[in-house]
Amino acid sequence: MTGPLVLGIETSCDETGIGIVRGRQLLSNTIASSMDEHARYGGVVPEVAARAHLEALQPSIERALTEAGVTLDDLDAVAVTSGPGLAGALMVGVGAAKGLAVSLGKPLYAVNHLVGHIAADILTSDDRATAPLEYPTIALLVSGGHTSLLHVRDLTTDVELLGETVDDAAGEAFDKVARLLGLPYPGGPQIDIASADGDPRAIRFPRGLSKASDMAKHRYDFSFSGLKTAVARWVERAEAAGEQVPVADVAASFREAVIDVLVTKALAACEDRGVPRLLLGGGVIANRRLREVALERAAAAGVAVRIPPLSLCTDNGAMIAGLAAELIANGRGPSTLGFGADSTLPV
Ligand code: KG4
Ligand code: ZN
């Protein structure tokens, strides 16, 4: 496998990710997470995340280089997530990337985090040979920081944002509902465990932005704050009535509501756009029930689903390096050093 040797830096949320690729070949992918430090707050605290990136960056870069068996001098380029994400967290990565690129005299590529998630799918490694990503494809990216639906006609030149969450991200909703059910952070895996013995049809929680009146304007947008409030009200009512809260049923019904909306809107986009392919990404894809429902309903709709391995679905530096390597292969020049961190960077 040939191609440019690129080191990618990802610091948009709570994961300090350093990845090294040679073209599409994944050489190393180190991830240091500050998740434990956020646990007692029940969610990511931007200031804490930024400080953790500052501490984790240098040792992570060294580890990634060692694991890839290369040195800084070998690199052809440096890549970094410039947005979207938490402003302070992004700034740490952007600053480090600029310093590294300038001191090494190497080109620097500023890339978009969401497009990076799509690029995760093209990476290959010794234990992962993948068929090339076919275009066009619809991509559904769900994590603690974002919930976005995209129409990808070409990874490097033509990615269209169809819709995104208007309030909480899907993972954030899992975290908040877990908290109100007395479950620890991060809530996604906890809700999954709690749901195991629950009935997903026990309680009919609202599907955000799914009513006919909402669909006209927000067909591809998501909203999870109303769902979170509905769960809170349901639990409060049960407690006020002196009933024992059936945590398994509440968790399973909540999970089903989130998954239903995600899969319904993603498949609607596939149908509307005549695109028989759906790519899934982001940390919430760890949810087995989500994968199950997506695969089942996509198969019924004649849509082929692609899911990268979980280590490439959660935030990581390899996807950022991989996207930059693709840009280089397509003749795109580096970024000028004037760019900054942009928390709302469009695709
Ligand atoms: O992509 P990711 O690792 O990082 C950031 O968002 O920064 O995603 C983490 C999110 C958290 O909100 C977590 O609760 C959620 O993904 N998550 C899950 C599951 N595992 C992690 N959500 C639902 N079900 C899961 N099994
Ligand atoms: Zn992400």
What share of the chain in percent tops pLDDT 90?
95
- Asked if the model's pLDDT at residue 176 lies above 90, the reply is yes
Q: Are 192 and 178 in contact (CB under 8 A)?
A: no
Number of domains within the chain: 2
Residue 336 domain-assigned (yes or no): no
Token representation of residue 197: 């013995």
CA of 243 to the centre of ligand 2 (A): 39
Closest CA to 75 of 6, 147, 174: 6
Centre of ligand 2 to C-alpha 142, Å, is 8
335: in domain: no
With beta carbons less than 8 A apart as the criterion, state whether 206 and 254 touch: no
188 is in an annotated binding site: yes
Q: Does one domain contain both 186 and 267?
A: yes
The atom of ligand 1 lying closest to the CA of 142 is 1
Q: Which domain holds residue 186?
A: 137-308
Q: Taking residues 186-201, what's their average pLDDT?
A: 96
| Rounded percentage of the chain residues whose pLDDT exceeds 70 | 99
Cβ of residue 17 lying under 6 Å from some atom of ligand 1: no
Mean pLDDT of the chain: 96
Q: Which has the minimum average pLDDT: 63-72, 126-135, 193-202, 338-347? A: 126-135
Q: Is 186 in the pocket of ligand 1 (CB under 6 A)?
A: yes
Domain assignment of residue 300, yes or no: yes
Judge whether 344 lies within some domain: no
Residues 161, 55, single domain; the answer is no
Determine the average pLDDT of the residues in 142-168.
Answer: 97
- Please give the Cα distance from 62 to 96 (Å, whole number): 13
User: What's the CA gap between 155 and 153, in Å, rounded?
Assistant: 7
Residue 49 has pLDDT above 70, yes or no: yes
96 and 154 fall within a common domain: no
Q: Is the pLDDT of residue 242 over 90?
A: yes
Query: 199 and 65 in one domain?
Result: no
| Token duo for residue 186 | 């991060």
- 14 Cα nearest atom in ligand 1: 7
Judge if 271 and 152 occupy the same domain.
yes
| Paired residues of 18 in beta bridges | 9, 30
Q: Are residues 72 and 196 in the same domain?
A: no
What is the ipTM score, two decimals? 0.97
Relative to the alpha carbon of 118, which ligand is closest?
2
Does 345 map to a domain? no
β-bridge pairing 77-83 and 108-112: parallel
pLDDT score, position 128: 73
Does residue 22 belong to any structural domain of this protein?
A: yes
Name the least confident of 38-52, 253-267, 288-302, 329-343: 38-52
Amino acid at 188: G
* In a shared domain, residues 289 and 193: yes
Q: What is the pLDDT of residues 224-238, one digit of tens each?
A: 999 999 999 999 999
What residues does 160 pair with on adjacent strands? 151
Q: Determine the atom of ligand 1 nearest the C-alpha atom of 175.
A: 14
140, 174, 288, 343: residue to mutate for ligand 1 pocket, most atoms within 8 A of CB: 174
Stretch 158-179: mean pLDDT: 97
- Please compute the mean of the pLDDT values over residues 131-141 and round it to a whole number: 93
Residues 161, 264: one domain?
yes
Query: Which CATH number goes with the domain that contains 157?
Result: 3.30.420.40
**67 contacts: CB under 8 Å, gap ≥ 6:** 20, 27, 28, 30
- Asked if residue 214 belongs to a domain, the reply is yes
287 is in an annotated binding site: yes
C-beta 294 within 6 A of ligand 1: no
pLDDT classification of 132: cutoffs 50, 70, 90? confident
- CA–CA dist 145, 11 (Å, integer): 12
Question: Ligand 2 center to residue 253 CA distance, Å?
Answer: 25
Cα–ligand 2 centroid distance for 318 (angstroms): 12
Out of 5-19, 35-49, 272-286, 295-309, pick the least confident. 35-49
117 is in an annotated binding site: yes
Q: What are phi and psi of 78, to 5 degrees?
A: -115, 140
Is the Cα dihedral 290, 172, 61, 122 positive or negative? positive
294 and 324 assigned to the same domain: no
Phi and psi of 59, rounded to 5°? Answer: -60, -35
Confidence of residue 1 (pLDDT cuts 50, 70, 90): low
pTM of the model: 0.95
Residues 6+ apart with CB under 8 A from 301: 267, 270, 271
Q: For residue range 78-117, list pLDDT tens digits in order.
A: 999 999 999 999 999 999 999 999 999 999 999 999 999 9
Q: How close is the Cα of 14 to the center of ligand 2, in Å?
A: 10
Kindly indicate the confidence band of residue 129, based on its pLDDT and cuts at 50, 70 and 90.
Answer: confident
Q: Is 188 in the pocket of ligand 1 (CB under 6 A)?
A: yes
147 lines ligand 1 (CB under 6 A): no
Q: Are residues 49 and 150 in the same domain?
A: no
pLDDT of residue 42: 84
| Cα distances (Å, whole numbers) of residue 321 to 21, 167, 340 | 6, 30, 18
Q: Does the beta carbon of 4 lie inside 6 Å of ligand 1?
A: no
Verify whether ligand 1 is closer than 6 Å to residue 34 (CB atom): no
Angle at 303 between CA 168 and CA 25, to 5 degrees: 80
Helix %, strand %, coil % of the chain (to 5): 50, 20, 35
Q: Are residues 190 and 294 in the same domain?
A: yes
Domain shared by 112 and 27, yes or no: yes
Q: Per-residue confidence at 269, pLDDT binned at 50, 70, 90?
A: very high
The verdict on whether residue 315 carries a ligand-binding annotation is yes
Domain-located, residue 20: yes
Residue 66 has pLDDT above 80, yes or no: yes
pLDDT score, position 85: 97
Which atom in ligand 1 lies closest to the alpha carbon of residue 286? 26
Is the CB of residue 189 below 6 angstroms from any atom belonging to ligand 1? Answer: yes
